[in-house]
Structure 1
């Protein structure tokens, strides 16, 4: 049996409903072990489940929530993809990470932003170049792989920014491990606070 594709209008309405709840909960801060309960609550909400009921059974709804809606949400917070229009929150943008890691005289190269994981080319006022890769610590293996690929491709300076949603810095033992892994491939590691804000507040 092939994968069932939702009609575009149904998908958009379902995403709007789910992302309103993700926004309310600050989904990126919900521990993975607690997310299943949120899916259960959403499916129990008739205003949501009635949208998908003509196409999915309960198990398929959960799969859609986990593998489609939830996976797209981090990119939506970065303002990437059509699903971004359904969240009222957003990250302040890579320029914040650039300033925190490399300084105010560095900026993002136009049209260089890529995803999975998030990364871009950056340039200093003096003409120095680097690659910036960022994401939360739970994605460290993805960040490390992308950094390795950049180094193999010949990039001389690669910066990995491990993002966090609070002022609290990572535990010293955890950070030593992160730095050791990055040292193995000759890239820089930084811990940066990077959290979404309401859209009205972004850039203010």
Structure 2
């Protein structure tokens, strides 16, 4: 009599330690005030504006927002019974611009930081204030041709048309070499030499 060996494969489903996005009113719920947060630190709490409700909810692992027409809204809850007129709310890009200047130099280093809370593609342009510009470059070295104060503007636009503009002033003061005429240098050397011998003569006169 032959005996077979039976292998039993046990598959255990281990639940995820945490969700990518958390919404305490379980999604889109206009009748309950909720709080939404995802693992990218995007967060929001349902709130009212005149004639509308801003509802935060999880979508594809991210916390997003939409606007619902609501004539009676109170503390993040829609009390009226309008039709579900929904308008998606686009959050514009977030931008920052860091500037590194060196005293006496005309070259300036610009570092752009651009992000979008809705995870949309963002394009941006840096205008240096002297007619020159650069697009979609996080690190740029720009050489100014003249001294002065320049208003540097960075403009970012996301895929939904949201625009954010940020500006900083840059002051350029180039150190210039001052050329001294040769005849003046010679005269100063002669004067220094004459003064040296005069001191020696005066010293010996004081001894007698």
TM-score (ref. length: structure 2)? 0.20
Based on CA coordinates, which of the two structures has the bigger radius of gyration?
2
The answer to which structure has the higher helix fraction is 1
Q: TM-score, length-normalised on structure 1?
A: 0.20
